[in-house]
Amino acid sequence: MGYTIAEKIIKSHLCGGSMKAGEEIALRIDQTLTQDATGTMAYLEFETMGIPRVRTELSVAYIDHNTLGTGFENADDHLYIASAAKKFGVRFSRPGNGICHQVHLERFGRPGATLIGSDSHTPTCGGIGMLAFGAGGMDVAVAMGGGAYYITMPKIYKVELSGRLHAFVTPKDISLEILRILSVKGGGGAIIEWGGEGVLSLSVPERATITNMGAELGATTSIFPSDEQTRRFLAAQGRECDFVPLSADPDAVYDRVIKIDLDALEPLIACPHSPDNVVAVKTVAGKPISQVCVGSCTNSSLYDMLKVSSLLRGRVIAPSVSMSVSPGSRQVLSMLADSGALSDILASGARLLECACGPCIGMGFSPNSGGVSLRTFNRNFEGRSGTKDAGVYLVSPETAVASALTGVITDPRTLGEMPEIRMPESFAVNDSAIIQPASSEDAADVSIVRGPNIKPFPASCPVTDALSAKVSLKVGDNITTDHIMPAGSKILPYRSNIPYLSKFCFSVCDESFPERARALGESIIVGGANYGQGSSREHAALVPLYLGVRAVIAKSFARIHAANLINSGIIPLTFADPNDYDKISEGDALSFEGLHAGMERGSVNVKNTTTGEEYRLVCAFTERQREMLICGGLLEYTKSHVPDKKA
């Protein structure tokens, strides 16, 4: 039996476990990336491990999320990360150099290699044939130290593309179509492998739009073959030497095959407040809009930007619309400027923003109250834009421009002919904004700069054998990490200050939660299905930990968040019978006994001492996870397992 692409990379990086779906496997990690909103924690954690230098082939620290600098906090974080990077052997991508995923794709990603990043959209590099995972900062810290990355061996789904996209129908519409088919839960426990003759016509940045939004499916990761398109992209980046071909064996076996006919696809749009709330653009056409944002790690490549500029050329956006354009990288921006395409964007009335995440994570450009914002981004969760009652829609760059011009949601096919986009033979390579680390000889002389915003992370709390605590919060299905620990311009600068962040925990759902949790001392959260979907931010575990949350009981968990809970020493438990969810209310007192033995058995009973009922909960952890929970999380566990701390 042959291998799929993902299986081939897993096989060549396997350092523990066997490749049977559902079993825990350990992978050797070639590259890591961090961004600044999660990076401070990751380097604090790396420091705690006491390893002097990273042991990966390549590690890069990007600054792209917190670039507003409204106070000293961002600047302090940047200095901390820059100094830690210099000391520990990590390359430092300066603010303004671009969004981590776009820059990593351009400059570092290579087919056949493994990458983990402290950002859920790290699978973007699957577009270049890399096996790339989003992970919590602690997992990234461990990988930087040479430790393995543990995942459950996923099922492998194949999405087979046939035909060719029509003008004004784009890879973003392919992403929205697969979200329509599978939903935000549908990729859970699976790697999505893209194949079929339809992939041949997609360039690497177009493929990266699709692997990027695999995160919204809850997939472990997504990957494309490495072929002529990959070779061409790498050659244009001056990196043809990184090319290796990669394809699935003809007799590879997939757990599920989904077919999409590109010829039949039309422009799609995800309506508020979920990326899988997808309909055809034409069905909501005519709805007035107030804002359009183009950019984010999903749609900010040179090709996307050239399409936007050529559609805007000679036209002016509607007076009722405020439009922003954020190129994904300095390379993209400088090529737009040199080619004159930037002038067409500016002449249309659009505003140019920095090469950074910006509005995608609510760092500026929040919509007006009750406003309608069309974004080429990947997430439209409630409140994420910074305006709680705004309606955010996710669209392709083409639909974004068509709507910006008319002031109402518009099917881009009404724009007439799609102008021909000529991509240059080679990209303008200039890595001067990527600072090299100190040599290992000089590293000892580098001091780490620690400003007052950088607070220690919360003390770990081992899972005890008996636990009695009240339910401090009960929430529904698909709770996102943006609900648990919101971001945005007012909060994001405090990512290295857990006590301050704790004031905003769950503020989107229930502003009284932090006070209630604190008053209870220890407590338990009850959630629905797909609890913790979205971001990789470990703050969504560390902040509840700080507020005394000791367990989360849910119908199911999103992969990265479940790992972050375990890494932080909070026990994630799943209802054996999902109907029991309805029987627990906020304020109920729950009592566990024999948790340790239950964790070995794989299930434990919890008594609801308020109602007198008892429910069975699943806690099917591996031995490693059990040990981690019992010693209070990954850092404590790693400290006791790293044999050699010398570089």
- CB of 204 or CB of 394, closer to ligand SF4: 394
Q: Is 537 in the site for ligand MIC (CB under 6 A)?
A: yes
x/- binding map, residues 59-98, to ligand MIC, per CB under 6 A?
------x---------------------------------
Interface region with ligand MIC, contact rule CB under 6 A, candidates 83-91, 124-132, 237-245, 533-541: 533-541
Strands 91-93 and 467-474: unpaired
Residue with tokens 């009652």: 389
Residues in the chain: 647
d(C-alpha 316, C-alpha 123), whole Å = 36
Q: Is 564 in the site for ligand MIC (CB under 6 A)?
A: no
- CB of 62 or CB of 194, closer to ligand SF4: 62
DSSP letter for 70, please. Answer: S
- Centroid of chain to Cα 348: 32
- CB of 77 or CB of 580, closer to ligand MIC: 77
* Selection from 353, 360, 354, 397 nearest residue 377 by Cα: 360
The answer to whether the CB of 505 falls within 8 A of the CB of 514 is yes
- CB of 198 or CB of 488, closer to ligand SF4: 488
Near ligand MIC in 348-387, by CB under 6 A: 361
The least CB distance from residue 309 to ligand SF4, in Å, is: 20
Residue 354 corresponds to which amino acid?
E
The answer to whether the CB of 96 falls within 8 A of the CB of 355 is yes
- CB of 65 or CB of 330, closer to ligand MIC: 65
Tokens describing residue 324: 């922003």
x/- binding map, residues 122-161, to ligand MIC, per CB under 6 A?
------------x---------------------------
Which residues make Cβ contacts (< 8 Å) with residue 606, sequence separation at least 6?
Answer: 553, 573, 590, 591, 592, 614, 615, 617
DSSP letter for 329, please. Answer: B
Binding residues for ligand MIC, rule CB under 6 A, total 13
- CB of 209 or CB of 229, closer to ligand MIC: 209
Q: Is 299 in the site for ligand MIC (CB under 6 A)?
A: no
Interface region with ligand MIC, contact rule CB under 6 A, candidates 2-10, 40-48, 117-125, 419-427: 117-125
Q: Is 487 in the site for ligand MIC (CB under 6 A)?
A: yes
- CB of 375 or CB of 550, closer to ligand SF4: 375
The least CB distance from residue 101 to ligand SF4, in Å, is: 6
The least CB distance from residue 379 to ligand MIC, in Å, is: 6
- CB of 34 or CB of 502, closer to ligand SF4: 34
The four Cα atoms 474, 479, 485, 491 give a dihedral, to 10 degrees, of -120
The least CB distance from residue 553 to ligand MIC, in Å, is: 24
Per the DSSP assignment, residues forming a β-bridge with 351 are 324
* Selection from 243, 9, 265, 224 nearest residue 124 by Cα: 224
State the binding partner of 561 from ligand MIC, ligand SF4, none, CB within 5 to 8 A by kind: none
State the binding partner of 532 from ligand MIC, ligand SF4, none, CB within 5 to 8 A by kind: none
- CB of 8 or CB of 65, closer to ligand SF4: 65
State the binding partner of 296 from ligand SF4, ligand MIC, none, CB within 5 to 8 A by kind: ligand SF4
State the binding partner of 542 from ligand SF4, ligand MIC, none, CB within 5 to 8 A by kind: none
State the binding partner of 303 from ligand MIC, ligand SF4, none, CB within 5 to 8 A by kind: none
The answer to whether the CB of 4 falls within 8 A of the CB of 153 is no
Q: Does residue 121 have a cis bond before it (omega within 30 degrees)?
A: no
3-state secondary structure (DSSP) of residue 376: coil
State the binding partner of 131 from ligand SF4, ligand MIC, none, CB within 5 to 8 A by kind: none
The answer to whether the CB of 338 falls within 8 A of the CB of 307 is no
State the binding partner of 472 from ligand MIC, ligand SF4, none, CB within 5 to 8 A by kind: none
The least CB distance from residue 460 to ligand SF4, in Å, is: 28
State the binding partner of 537 from ligand SF4, ligand MIC, none, CB within 5 to 8 A by kind: ligand MIC
In angstroms, what CA-CA distances link 85 with 8, 46, 447?
32, 11, 11
CA angle, residues 621, 627, 628, in degrees to nearest 5: 90
3-state secondary structure (DSSP) of residue 475: coil
d(C-alpha 462, C-alpha 569), whole Å = 6
Tokens describing residue 503: 């004031």
State the binding partner of 409 from ligand SF4, ligand MIC, none, CB within 5 to 8 A by kind: none
- CB of 101 or CB of 413, closer to ligand SF4: 101
Sheet holding 256-261, edge to edge: 221-223, 190-195, 155-162, 256-261
Considering only residues 121, 413, 470, 550, which one is a binding residue for ligand MIC as defined by CB under 6 A?
A: 121
State the binding partner of 536 from ligand SF4, ligand MIC, none, CB within 5 to 8 A by kind: ligand MIC
State the binding partner of 99 from ligand SF4, ligand MIC, none, CB within 5 to 8 A by kind: ligand SF4
Considering only residues 536, 564, 574, 608, which one is a binding residue for ligand MIC as defined by CB under 6 A?
A: 536
Which residues make Cβ contacts (< 8 Å) with residue 152, sequence separation at least 6?
Answer: 22, 23, 24, 25, 189, 220, 559
State the binding partner of 38 from ligand SF4, ligand MIC, none, CB within 5 to 8 A by kind: ligand MIC
d(C-alpha 597, C-alpha 601), whole Å = 6
Q: Is 38 in the site for ligand MIC (CB under 6 A)?
A: yes
Residues that bind ligand SF4 (CB under 6 A): 65, 99, 119, 121, 296-297, 357, 360-361, 377-378
The answer to whether the CB of 286 falls within 8 A of the CB of 402 is no
State the binding partner of 110 from ligand MIC, ligand SF4, none, CB within 5 to 8 A by kind: none
Strands 131-134 and 114-117: parallel
Which residues make Cβ contacts (< 8 Å) with residue 577, sequence separation at least 6?
Answer: 615, 616
The answer to whether the CB of 227 falls within 8 A of the CB of 200 is yes
* Selection from 455, 604, 632 nearest residue 545 by Cα: 632
Q: Which residues bind ligand MIC (CB under 6 A)?
A: 37-38, 65, 119-121, 134, 361, 487, 534-537
